A and B are shown apart, each in its own frame.
Chain A
Amino acid sequence: EVQLVESGGGLVQPGGSLRLSCAASGYTFSSYGINWVRQAPGKGLEWVSGVSGSGDITYYADSVKGRFTISRDNSKNTLYLQMNGLRAEDTATYYCARSISVTKPYYCDCWGQGTLVTVSS
């Protein structure tokens, strides 16, 4: 069974940093791209970032470019999102979601349960 489990969320002050993790199991991790998608409280879905199966191609939404860094460790079957310069508008539940394509962000056939990030003083 494919499983994605996020961790690392929490309360952080504006301007602070946080690193999210997503542990994958039940499939060959490097054979799929993987994304971060967020959802602000009571709002819709926003694609944030994606990375290819090998980790050498990364994609970002303009809203996080230059502040967030996506990476993956295929030896540990784990995806990361390093978030720096956090703002109140980054407050959201962050989901990791498997992309059906190995190279580009495509539709996501499996999602984690999400981890909540709250940016507030």
Chain B
Amino acid sequence: DIVMTQSPDSLAVSLGERATISCKSSQTVLYSSNNKNYLAWYQQKPGQPPKLLIYWASTRGSGVPDRFSGSGSGTDFTLTISSLQAEDVAVYYCQQYYSVPNTFGQGTKLEI
């Protein structure tokens, strides 16, 4: 199974500042035949289901504000929130869908 490791486990950022979350996979999630990274990011607020933010490592989901961006390739990925808003307080998860079982990172709790 591919192990996904996020860092840090928790993060406190001031309003308007940049937040950066790292996700590393134990093996590549880059599929060479189509040059796509099989990596997604989700946001989960308390008492709510996860919400898709980013897929293919860098494509924003429907309705996701452009302050959220994803980058990276192979085994190293980053989720960046360019200017933190109060409503961004949540737990963020990365997920690989390169192989079954799909696996998630342990989550990063983002606070203000």
Asked if A47 contacts B104 (CB within 8 A), the reply is: yes
Main SS class of interface, A: strand
Asked if A44 contacts B55 (CB within 8 A), the reply is: no
Count of A-B residue pairs with CB < 8 Å: 60
Asked if B104 contacts A111 (CB within 8 A), the reply is: no
Of A37, A59, A104, A107, most buried by chain B (CB within 10 Å of CB) is: A107
Q: Which residues of A, 73-121, contact B by the 8 Å Cβ criterion? A: 95, 97, 100, 104-114
Given contacts A44-B93, A45-B93, contact A112 B103 (CB under 8 A): no
Asked if A59 contacts B101 (CB within 8 A), the reply is: yes
Given contacts A47-B104, A104-B100, contact A109 B49 (CB under 8 A): no
- Chain A residue with Cβ nearest B104: A45
Q: Enumerate chain B interface residues (CB-CB to A < 8 A).
A: 1, 38, 40, 42, 44, 49-52, 55, 61-62, 93, 95, 97, 100-107
